[in-house]
Structure 1
Amino acid sequence: MESTSLDEKILSYNDVVLRRSDLDVLSGPYFLNDRIIEFYFSYLTSCYPFEEGGSHWSLLAFDRNENIFVHHDSSGGINNMHANKVFRAVIYSIARQICRWYGSDERPKHAKDLWFSTVTEQIMPSLVGKMRNEILELVQSLMVK
């Protein structure tokens, strides 16, 4: 039985195989699948050297109860600069959208907490789209090599 063009292997990177259908996922408004996530983590891991038998991870998380961002880094802070850059970009983007919403006619005069839905509607799609495009361009550049 012949495989369809959607099942066609387009890239083998480390031990991850991407198929043509994965490019469709990146191009459309679909949830990312496991292969794309696995590919991207594999790519990021290969960009940073690690000792045999080990790996490095970094996590920037928001603790809602404490109202703070916390950065965890398995290599003792090697990614602090990048975590701070992401933190500043996220805070700046959210603050800008809140200020834009607060000064607009969209804001109901009696509502205090409705800004959150406006922020997620205006920020999330653009950030998700940008990230999808970056991963798609990365896959396409690796296909050429």
Structure 2
Amino acid sequence: MIPSELRYHKEHEWVRQEGTTATIGISDFAQDALGDVVFVDLPKVDAVIARDQEIGEVESTKATSSIYSPVNGKIVKVNEELQDHPEYLNSDPYGQGWIAVVELSNPGDVEDLMTASQYEEFLSSQS
């Protein structure tokens, strides 16, 4: 399941751009690889972030994995529901499992990320 309206980062994060903001989360591939998510260390609101920077962590029954920012900008909102319901990353990674909303430094940067078909090819080349 790779939604076509999103853009994707090589570290398996997705971006849903809406004007000058972008919602980010982890892909279905990432949550599946992690297994049952038990804790999410969210980024801090007002933090200025850079593309490829580690902004948080996801802990699962299998491993701990870093969350990387796919864009440059400032965190304006985080999904507080993940504190009590980290399993949303497994059950709905593209909906309730969103991680943060970023005010983009340069909205055009999202175009540099992979399209759904490019991400699908990227995943195929990894196996």
Shorter chain as denominator, the TM-score bin is 0.3 to 0.5
Give the structure with the higher percent strand: 2
Larger Rg: 1
- Point out which structure has higher relative CO (alpha carbons under 8 A, 6+ apart): 2
Give the structure with the higher percent helix: 1
Q: TM-score, normalised by structure 2?
A: 0.32
Q: TM-score, normalised by structure 1?
A: 0.30
